[in-house]
Structures are given as C-alpha cells and as structure tokens.
Amino acid sequence: MTHNYSTLTLGVALHAALLSGTALAAATADEIAELGKSRTCVGALKAGNAAGTIPPWSGKWLGAPEHVNFQGTGNHPVDPYPDDQPLFVITAQNMAQYVGQLSAGQKALFTKYQQSFQMPIYESRRDFRFPDSVCEATRKNAQSAKQVDDGEGVEATTGGILFPFPRNGLELLWTSSIFTYRPWTEELISDNAYVLDNGNINWGRVKSRNLAPHLKPGTQAATEGQSSYYLNETLLPERDRGEINTGMEFWNHSREPRQSWRYDPGTRRVRQSPEYGYDMSFPGTGGSITVDEVRIFNGSPKRYNWEIVGQQEMYIPYNSYRLHSSDISYDDLLTPGHANPKHMRYELHRVWVLEGNLKQDYRHIYGKRRMYIDEDTWFMVMADNYDARGGLWRTSMLNYFYAYEAQTWQAGVGFYHDLQAGSYLAFNLINEQPKGYMLNRGTLNDRDFGPQAARRAGL
C-alpha cells in the first residue's frame, strides 16, 4: 500500500510542502534530532513494520563480518547469509496475494512469462551501515544543502547523503542517483548479454574505470568543479573493439554540462561527443538501454518534471551476493525471457517511489519513468519506463550487494527488460570474469580520463 508522508512521520511541515509544491531549504531541528535515534544516520526509519515482515534496522556490521572470509577487492562477492533459504516463492499463479508489493514491471513479467518467471522471497536483512564520516556529512547536508539553478545543481557537503528528508522530486532524484555514497574508485571488465526473445545472445564486453574523488573515505568538501570521471573501452563485439568513451561530470549541469569524448579506432581520432547522455543508446548494448538509465538514472534531470509519489513496502532485489558468484555460469543464469529465478534474491523493504514525466518542450524515448529507491541505502533499485503513448515499455532491476572493502553498496548486474520485444539486457556481468569489482584501490587519478587518456589507451 502506498502511504502519504504524514503517516510515515516525516512531519506536518513536509506534508504541507509536498501538497503546495514548495521546497523547504533544510530539515527541521526535530527531524535532524532523530538522525541516529528513531532514524538511521542517513534518514531511514529504524523500526520494522507492524507485520514483522520488515525487521528493525540493526546496522551491526561495518565492513566484512567476522564470519565472512573475504579475500579482498577484485574477488567475487561472498554471501554473509549462506544458509538463507526462500521463505516462499511468488509465481503468476499466486501473484494476486502480493500485488500490493509488486511494481508494474514485475507484474508485467509475471503476465508475460507465466510458466517461468518467479520471485523467491528471502528474509529481509538490514545489517550493514555506512561509516561515521557519512553520518557527519549527512547531518551537515540536512542543515544546509540546497538546490540551485532550478535543480540543475546543488550546493552541499560531499561524503554523505544529500537530502535525508527530501521535500520534492528533484531532491529525491539528486539524493538517489547523482549524490549517492558509492565506491570512490571502480575498475572492472564486465560482460553484457543481450538475450533475444528466442534465447540467442549477442555479447558485449567492456573495460571500465570510474573515479569520484569526493567519495574517498573521510573526505568532506564543497560541491565545486568535477564530481566524477569515467572511461569505458569496448572489447566486444569485435566490430566495435577499441572504441573508447570517456568524460567527466560536474556538480551543476546548467553551468558545467557533462563533457564527453569518443575515440574511434578506425580513424584513430578523438572527437568530442556533445550532449552525450539522455536517450542516446549506451555503447555496446544494441540499443537496449539509454545512456541515462545506466544504474537506473544518471545525468541532468532537466527533461522531466519530478514528483515524489510516496513510500511503499515492496519486494525488491536485495543482498544479491550469490547472483555474482563465479560458480554460476552464464549458460545457467541467462535463460530466455529473464534471468534464472533460482539465482535471484528478493526481500521486502520500504522504498521511495519517484516519478518523472517528460516536459512538454523536451524529447526522450521515455514519456514517463517511475523509480523505486531503497530507504536504507538511498540507491535506485528498480524502474518502470513508459513510451510516449503511456504504455509500459521497459522495466529494470539493479542488484546491489554490500562491498566490504568500500563499506558501502556496490551496483552489480542490472537486468533491463524490453516487454514489447521479449528481450533483456544483462548488464555488468562478472560471473565468468577472473576478477570481480576492484573497488577503492585508489590507483586512479584525473589523468586517467578525458581526451588525452582516450588517445593513449587507443594507441
């Protein structure tokens, strides 16, 4: 059931602000006082639900628990709950019992794949926490963070959560997509599998590097200059091998838009890629996802009107350690229509529901986007994307796990379903790669990105 904010104890002032469309500049003193008490230090309700199906937040682990034998970054994730078994399984036949906790996209998958799509439901776990430095920066932001330039930029303290008490859609969007607390360096080689409706697979492979200096543990700074850097080198398919896309992001999309460059191995030239983002096709995915839906949403929010719909208890992918195991082959995982359900893990959690509707004077292949954000981590975990006529077109699920070495959550494989074509993209697979995600090694700097870095890598 979707609740309004007054029933979720976010305060009468917040409820009034939402109704009027007015954004309040900062959290109230009473709200801030609850951080670390009735709420986690980043704003989630510590209490479980009345039914007992969502437990109280424990936050008992920071980094690897004592019972986990984790060999360090670059290794595949190790499940801290190895003995967990599904409590029950949702199928197309019993879906009606759980319809209030399912997204439109999940219900569409049950309808389309009645004999094969299932959701194994596990015990909900809320055991990991952020470092104390994240709590400190979050408290500062609750007091003083603000949007500028019609929500195209923010002025805040890095190293924490941006708006632990979001007042409007743009505040929630910034908090959950642009200003998350994630690993500050990320390096990996991953596989992308575009699974067609007949089960055939078109393969891609990418070597990726990502850097967000402001997320180096313990760092707190003003939101000035570059916020992050990326470089993606295509390894497969062969026809695109050697293509490189690189760029940098800034804290204000209006004053300093994303800068991007592309290295073409055919001409051995680097060219700037103006307006890289939005609904451009993400390289190497066969047009199955747009640039701005990697990790559900990224980049400038300006093409949509954003609205907080409410909060809801939902079954979402969670604690997805086993899904990334090197013991699972792609042949076993990538079944026609959807990933093999036996490798998935869903849990019941409270999520924020955010909706974006395309502005009248802008274009995008998606007319409406509805996103689901986990309240404990502030990460986007699912999305339903609608076409210009209002029909549900694509639905996506991102599988996170807590990365012990980074003391935060890591985005794992994303499943992006095209409900009309019957195909799906498995994005950022690592199961058959010799190494997993290499996080927080601190070996990257700004010279590893940009046009000169693309030229060096290409040559």
Structural domain contains residue 237: yes
Mean pLDDT of the chain: 94
Higher pLDDT, 237 or 459: 237
Structural domain contains residue 28: no
Q: What mean pLDDT do residues 133-159 have?
A: 97
- What is the rounded distance in angstroms from the CA atom of residue 39 to the CA atom of residue 70? 30
pLDDT for residue 19 is more than 90: no
Q: What mean pLDDT do residues 190-205 have?
A: 97
Q: Tokens in use for 335? A: 């079944």
Of the candidates 348, 440, 312, 368, which has an alpha carbon nearest to the alpha carbon of residue 55? Answer: 348
In total, how many domains does the chain have?
Answer: 1
State the Cα angle at 370 between 368 and 372, rounded to 5°: 165
Q: Tokens in use for 250? A: 């800034």
pLDDT for residue 1 is more than 60: no
Q: What mean pLDDT do residues 266-280 have?
A: 94
Structural domain contains residue 149: no
Strands 88-90 and 201-211: unpaired
Q: Tokens in use for 415? A: 């499943």
Structural domain contains residue 1: no
pLDDT for residue 451 is more than 90: yes
Q: What's the pTM? A: 0.94
pLDDT for residue 6 is more than 70: no
The DSSP call for residue 176 is: I
CATH number at residue 307: 2.50.20.10
Write out pLDDT tens, residues 293-318: 999 999 999 999 999 999 999 999 99
State the Cα angle at 302 between 301 and 307, rounded to 5°: 65
CB 232 within 8 A of CB 244: yes
Local confidence band at 25 (pLDDT 50, 70, 90 cut-offs)? low
Structural domain contains residue 153: no
Structural domain contains residue 148: no
CB 437 within 8 A of CB 186: yes
User: What pLDDT, on a 0 to 100 scale, did the predictor assign at position 10?
Assistant: 41
Structural domain contains residue 262: yes
Percent of residues, the chain, with pLDDT higher than 70: 95
pLDDT for residue 119 is more than 80: yes
CB 34 within 8 A of CB 14: no
Q: Can you count the helices (H) and strands (E) in the chain?
A: 7, 18
Domain that holds residue 199: 88-125+165-458
Structural domain contains residue 297: yes
Phi, psi of 308 (to 5 degrees): -80, 120
User: What pLDDT, on a 0 to 100 scale, did the predictor assign at position 228?
Assistant: 98
Q: Is the dihedral of CA 359, 154, 6, 21 positive or negative?
A: negative
User: What pLDDT, on a 0 to 100 scale, did the predictor assign at position 12?
Assistant: 34
User: What pLDDT, on a 0 to 100 scale, did the predictor assign at position 351?
Assistant: 98
Q: Is the dihedral of CA 364, 367, 372, 373 positive or negative?
A: positive
Q: What mean pLDDT do residues 243-258 have?
A: 96
b/e per residue 153-190 (b: at least 16 CB within 10 A): bbebbbbbbbbbbbbbbbbbbbbbbbbbbbbbbbbbbb
Of the candidates 272, 221, 275, which has an alpha carbon nearest to the alpha carbon of residue 253? Answer: 275
Amino acid (1-letter code) at residue 45: L
Q: Tokens in use for 47? A: 């209490």
pLDDT for residue 352 is more than 50: yes
Q: What is the largest CA-CA distance in the chain?
A: 63
- What is the rounded distance in angstroms from the CA atom of residue 415 to the CA atom of residue 337? 11
